[in-house]
Amino acid sequence: MLLNSIAILAGFILLVWSADRFVLGASGIALNFGVSPLIIGLTIVGFGTSAPEMIVSGVAAYEGTPNLAVGNALGSNITNIALVLGITALVSPLMVNSKILKREYPIMFLIMIIVWALLWDGVLSHTDGYILILGMFALMTFITLMGIQESRHKKNNHTRDEDPLEQEFAEEIPTDISTARAFLWLLVGLVILLVSSRLLVWGAVNIAHEYQVSDLVIGLTIVAIGTSLPELAASITSALKNEHEMAIGNIIGSNMFNLLGVLGIPGIMTGAILEPSVLDRDYPVMMVLSVLLFIFAYGFRGKGKINRLEGSLLLLCYIAYMVVIYQQSL
């Protein structure tokens, strides 16, 4: 038990550090090759914050526990909205006024509906996996084209006005890192991600077997919280810097990549027979929380906002969800 707990703790710590190094390296390489900060932020940063979930998902599928990967994907999305944004809003209420984010909300809901339709038969098949991975690449292509269009529109109209999200990405993405150093950080981040994910999955699976808890529940709880730590750190840091659009954007981007990439990987590798609670409990909870996020942060009459009261509500939802999982797993 002690060894398993140490493995999980070490895996969490290394996941957070390596994910940050991975994003730093990938962002530095892209910037040095002339990619705009907006495109880097919307694609590489969004993809990078989901890198821990994706690596853990692949390791879990390889180890023969695909339902842990499914739980990680859905649990991370639930954790991102209810726990990460809830805590972030308590630390610093979030004000959002980004047209780019408003365009991403419908895409996020479309992805959720498509994934729900694919999983409705209770099976994550190889075909489903390929569709999801293709969807992930289609999403990255669309976001990239959207970023290029934004840059051209600004250039053609001879305006310097920038979307708040674009300004925040430009301020945060490093500009003083050499290409060689960026490649080094990218490689180091990827290797440590693999090692830390292996540690985390090994410890989590052992604990699940010892306490006779399903792999799905472990994925929804321990693993989901651990792999969401990079999002928590990024969101709180962004909020304290008054980069509120980035705090929300990290969550929306990560949740889209989780549904497409994190679920797609075990689908391609092994497939999975889903536990009934995935469609009866976990997916509906994720969708309800996503609707709450939309209502709070969209800004129908101006700026969207998630204040401390709304953050508290999100946290209470997360606590209630954990209580339900605990009671149903007894």
Digit-coded pLDDT (tens) for 233-285: 778 877 777 777 777 877 888 899 899 999 999 999 999 999 999 999 999 99
Residue 176 per-residue DSSP state: S
Domain annotation for the chain: domains and CATH numbers = 2-329 (1.20.1420.30)
Of 42, 3, 14, nearest to 26 by C-alpha is 42
**pLDDT tens digit string along 200-229?**
888 887 887 788 888 889 889 888 888 787
pLDDT for position 163: 60
Q: Is the dihedral of CA 107, 117, 277, 67 positive or negative?
A: negative
* Distance of alpha carbon 16 from alpha carbon 9, whole angstroms: 11
CA 293 to chain centre: 15
Pull the structure tokens for residue 142.
């669309």
pLDDT tens for each residue of the chain, 330 residues long = 778 888 888 888 888 788 778 777 877 877 787 776 666 766 677 677 778 888 888 888 988 889 999 999 999 999 999 999 999 999 888 887 767 677 788 899 999 999 999 999 999 999 999 999 999 999 888 877 877 776 676 666 655 555 666 665 666 666 678 888 888 988 888 888 888 888 888 888 788 778 888 888 988 988 888 878 777 877 887 777 777 777 787 788 889 989 999 999 999 999 999 999 999 999 999 999 999 988 887 766 667 788 899 999 999 999 999 999 988 887
pLDDT for position 172: 60
**Looking at the DSSP assignment, which residues form a beta bridge with residue 124?**
272
Secondary structure (DSSP) of 41-104: IIIIIHHHHTHHHHHHHHHHHHTT-HHHHHHHHHHHHHIIIIIIHHHHHHHS-EEE--HHHHHH
pTM over 0.95: no
pLDDT for position 280: 94
Cβ atoms within 10 Å, residue 23: 24
Secondary structure (DSSP) of 102-135: HHHHHHHHHHHHHHHHHHTTSEE-HHHHHHHHHH
Q: What are the residue ranges of helices labelled H in the chain?
A: 2-32, 37-39, 46-49, 51-62, 66-78, 85-91, 99-119, 126-156, 164-172, 179-210, 215-218, 224-227, 229-240, 244-257, 263-269, 276-277, 283-297, 308-329
- Amino acid identity, position 269: M
- Amino acid identity, position 151: S
pLDDT for position 170: 62
